[in-house]
Amino acid sequence: MFDVKEIRKEFPILNRKVNGKDLVYFDNGASTQKNISVIKSLEKYYTNENANVHRGVHFLSGLATDKFEETRSVITDFIGAEHTHEIIFTKGTTDSINLVANGLKKILNPGDEIIISEMEHHSNIVPWQICCEFTGAILKVIPITEDGELNIDEFESLINNKTKLVAITHVSNSLGTINPIKKIIDISHGYGSKVLIDGAQAASHIPIDVRKLNVDYYCFSAHKLYGPTGVGVLYGKEDLLNKLPVYQGGGEMIKDVSFKKTTYANLPHKFEAGTPNIAGVVAFKSAIEFITKVGLENITLHQDNLLKYATSEINKIEGVKIFGVSNNKSSIISFNIQDIHPYDIGLILDKMGVAIRTGHHCTQPLMEKYQIPGTARISMAIYNTMDEIDICINAIKKAKLMLS
């Protein structure tokens, strides 16, 4: 049974007060809170297991290495990958995307094409702009509809045999739109193009099976799955990762070094230069085990119910406009209220103990599309409740009354 009251007990920060009010945390799209098992894993690592990985014959080094690699195995199962060495640890989704973009800088030729979309996070725009500037490749952009959905007809008119990569978000961090990535992957592969999916907003909401999707690269971050900050994952098909040039040079990613020539380690170490965030990786295992125990299907159902109720209540507020009204959405609501700047709404809500996100959400081209400076964004997670939505809605109404 899914019991949100019991789940909330596992997140200590939810007991704190902000400005004298019980914390209501609706900024999960930016980062989720951490449950007690993750916190204890971090503490346990630093108090009982701390050593560098892959580099020592002593007991603690072997223990830390085992713990580190256990997380890689858990992630392999979590996303349905075939091999553990197809899982690369990075600093986050941004770092994962940059790893691929840096490799393609040395592979693409002038006139090759990359396709992204109008709803992408800056992390899935800027690396490809840099890549195109460096190589002479051409960047194309799929437009979105007024409802916040990808225009698939336009996508099919943009893609051709020159397209070498399609890089698309699985779930929009601003709109909540869940994109039809399987269809996009199948269309792209029909033209010989590879596909990278930014799964930062999806991995904690939607079951991922990279083999069923037949996706070439899939990226996500631990801190959006109730895990630590500073840890990310790049999944890549084995043959593609082997073809990509190294990302960074240094320790760990080498096989042999001399002043004449250096040879590189096999996957996954080829892309994991230097000492990683060992404690974060070890604790990430606890986060995934927590999600698995609760069940992604249960999490999705709970968050869908929250989304439905919150959308209904927000729409009752006069002058409100929600951006992103696709029938296929994750638990994100971006909205504005007529003649009120979103920053002012967020500031007043904070005084009432309600944490939301305001601004352009690192999607400035999307804001330009809608001709707005930004939005107020509510993003819901496993520990949020209907009562918290009521508190948030009442706070929005008070803010509207004060600012009108």
Residues tagged active-site: 362
Residues 6+ apart with CB under 8 A from 190: none
CB 33 within 8 A of CB 13: yes
Strand residue runs (E) in 205-362: 217-221, 232-236, 254-257, 262-264, 320-323, 332-337, 354-355, 357-359
Q: Where are the alpha helices (DSSP H) in 179-234?
A: 181-190, 210-213
CB atoms within 10 A of CB 217: 26
The amino acid sitting at 289 is E
Q: Look-up: residue for tokens 């029938």? A: 327
Q: Is 60 helix (H, G, I), strand (E, B) or coil?
A: helix
CA dist 397 and 377 (Å) reads: 15
The Cα 254–Cα 318 span in angstroms is 61
Q: What is the CA radius of gyration of the chain?
A: 22
Can you tell me the distance from the alpha carbon of 160 to that of 307, in angstroms, rounded to the nearest whole number? Answer: 37
Contact call for residues 362 and 381 (beta carbons, < 8 A): no
**What's phi and psi for 117, nearest 5 deg?**
-130, 170
Beta strand 163-169 with 113-117 is parallel
- Residues 146 and 191: their CA atoms lie apart, in Å, by 28
Q: What are the tokens at 290?
A: 């927590």
* CB 81 within 8 Å of CB 234: no
